[in-house]
Amino acid sequence: MACLIQLLTRSAESPTRLPWWAQTQRQCAGPTYNAAVTNPLDIDEKIKVTGGSVLKGEVGVLGAKNAVLKEMVAMLMAAGVHRLTNVPGILDVSLMGRVLDHIGASCEFEGHTLTVQVPDEINPEAPLDLVRAMRASIVVLGPLLARTGRARVAFPGGDDLGSRPIDWHLDSLRQMGAEFKLEHGVLTGWVDGRLKGATLDLEFPSVGATENSILAAVIADGVTTINNAAREPEIQDIAAQLNAMGAKVTGAGTHTITIEGVGALHPVEHHVIGDRLEAGTYAIAGAITGGEVTIRNCDPAHLRMELRKLEEVGCEIERGDDFFVIAGPKRAKAVDFATLPFPGFHTDMQPQMVALLATADGTSIVTENLYDSRFRYIGELMRMGADVTTEWQHAVVRGVPTLSGCPVLAFDIRAGAALVLAGLAADGFTTVGDISHIDRGYEDLVGKLASLGAQIERLAG
């Protein structure tokens, strides 16, 4: 049965602002689903933002993209009806819905609740069009091998952030007994009997390799220990979902995760953790406009280093259990920072922070340690008058008093968000193109910023 993902939840609040991709998903849903629409990222809509408004008010964030995508895959581990609540209506959720659809599950999305029916027999395959449209699809590899002993997954290439290999995913699964063959761009994996628990020493705390290993290990034979595991809050949330399903995962959120394999899992309902990257983006929207914004449904401890750096630039921050209030300075001060795995400064907040530092008083040095091509957006920021020099993984950002609005392009999710933020502080108006990238990770960025007082709108292509 075709995957039915109707990302229409916003229509109740803003009936005239239904984005194109929600309509696309509506058209693609049901029996007329068109598998030839491989990558719906080509629509030429734009965001127009006029600078100068001081943002004030409250905004709530939805569930974390980087948790929900893996939690959708985790559902494949048990036949039956699963439910995720607090699911954002973003393009990547609908793309992952298409992956699940291909594997044989059926999905329904309504009111931020995703219901997924997983059959007893699944098709252990993820084709190129879906893997190319969303790299995170590679996380199906471990679960498919664990559940069926086989997997055929298109080998993901690099993307706008860099080459992004998957060698650590494969090394871990090999140590658990899987074998792989790469032919004609397709990775075929198989295992003789069940995967076996193993001690995995990750070379680097990779988020995806940690997740693939956990998902493979939950129904493997024996105990798996992951040393040097990624400690991201999203991984803790995935472990919580798996434990509710009957798995035995301990230590998520620390460097050492232990998974005792169990015979079978069962479906559950799980509430997705708040999106710290969405929250951090609204925090910088408040900071860059010298406004005051309350951000709800996100634990500020998940943004510890990012908020500390925002305090160093002159923001005042009040922290609650699941909210924080940020008041921006008249003009930010320069600050140096380097991206690192959690609890370090998140690479997915780097472009937004650079947008803020572009108009700071002084020179900041930014070091990007996660990706080899994450500074591409800086050329667009420079079109707006930013004074930045990049060399290898360093950027020297010399703050200018003001940016100047102009047409720019979003190369990836966070780059797009950063350019919108820059537009909030720029003189005149900025149009951001290629905004389907923004829709991959933000539900209604435009509506939420407008609710805080931004002069912002979506323009049809």
Indicate which residues carry an active-site annotation.
159
Residue 377 makes contact with ligand EPU by CB under 6 A: no
Q: How far is the CB of 144 from ligand EPU (least distance, A)?
A: 17
Q: Which helix (H) or strand (E) element contains residue 293?
A: strand 292-296
Q: How far is the CB of 93 from ligand EPU (least distance, A)?
A: 11
Other CB atoms within a 10 A radius of the CB of residue 114 amount to 28
Q: How many alpha carbons fall within 13 Å on the CB side of residue 144?
A: 24
Pick 245 or 415: Cβ nearer ligand EPU: 415
Pick 206 or 258: Cβ nearer ligand EPU: 206
Q: Which helix (H) or strand (E) element contains residue 351?
A: helix 350-357
Pick 48 or 65: Cβ nearer ligand EPU: 65
Q: How far is the CB of 162 from ligand EPU (least distance, A)?
A: 6
Return all residues near 343 (Cβ < 8 A) that are at least 6 apart.
231, 304, 305
User: Which three-class secondary structure state does DSSP give residue 381?
Assistant: helix
Among 47, 74, 166, 449, binds ligand EPU (CB under 6 A): 166
Q: How far is the CB of 305 from ligand EPU (least distance, A)?
A: 13
Q: How far is the CB of 41 from ligand EPU (least distance, A)?
A: 14
Segment contacting ligand EPU by CB under 6 A, of 103-111, 162-170, 175-183, 214-222: 162-170
Residue 414 makes contact with ligand EPU by CB under 6 A: yes
Pick 85 or 369: Cβ nearer ligand EPU: 369
**Site string (326-355) toward ligand EPU, x via CB under 6 A:** ---------------------xx-------
- Number of residues binding to ligand EPU, judged by CB under 6 A: 23
Residue 136 makes contact with ligand EPU by CB under 6 A: yes
Return all residues near 315 (Cβ < 8 A) that are at least 6 apart.
283, 286, 287, 326, 327, 328, 329, 332
Residue list 21-40, contact with ligand EPU (CB under 6 A): none
Segment contacting ligand EPU by CB under 6 A, of 76-84, 164-172, 279-287, 424-432: 164-172
Segment contacting ligand EPU by CB under 6 A, of 4-12, 49-57, 161-169, 397-405: 161-169
Q: Which helix (H) or strand (E) element contains residue 154?
A: strand 150-154
Q: How far is the CB of 258 from ligand EPU (least distance, A)?
A: 20
Residue 69 makes contact with ligand EPU by CB under 6 A: yes
Best CA proximity match to 162, nearest among 5, 360, 14, 369 = 369
Pick 325 or 370: Cβ nearer ligand EPU: 370
User: Which three-class secondary structure state does DSSP give residue 55?
Assistant: coil
Residue 370 makes contact with ligand EPU by CB under 6 A: yes
Residue 284 makes contact with ligand EPU by CB under 6 A: no
Other CB atoms within a 10 A radius of the CB of residue 165 amount to 11
Pick 282 or 371: Cβ nearer ligand EPU: 371
Pick 29 or 134: Cβ nearer ligand EPU: 134
Q: How far is the CB of 38 from ligand EPU (least distance, A)?
A: 19
DSSP character for 385?
Answer: T
Backbone angles phi, psi at 243, to 5 degrees: -65, -40
Residue list 198-217, contact with ligand EPU (CB under 6 A): 204, 206-209
Residue 241 makes contact with ligand EPU by CB under 6 A: no
Segment contacting ligand EPU by CB under 6 A, of 101-109, 142-150, 157-165, 296-304: 157-165
Position of minimal CB gap to ligand EPU: 208
Cβ–Cβ under 8 Å, residues 215 and 70? yes
Pick 209 or 219: Cβ nearer ligand EPU: 209
C-alpha–C-alpha distance, residues 232 and 252, integer Å: 9
197 burial via Cβ count (<10 Å: 0-12, 13-18, 19+)? buried
Q: What is the total residue count of the chain?
A: 461
Cβ–Cβ under 8 Å, residues 341 and 347? no
Return all residues near 423 (Cβ < 8 A) that are at least 6 apart.
47, 49, 50, 51, 384, 405, 429, 430, 432, 456
C-alpha–C-alpha distance, residues 393 and 161, integer Å: 12
Cβ–Cβ under 8 Å, residues 64 and 234? yes
Among 345, 371, 377, 442, binds ligand EPU (CB under 6 A): 371
The residues of the shown chain that bind ligand EPU, judged by CB under 6 A, are: 65-66, 69, 136, 162, 164-169, 204, 206-209, 347-348, 370-371, 413-414, 441
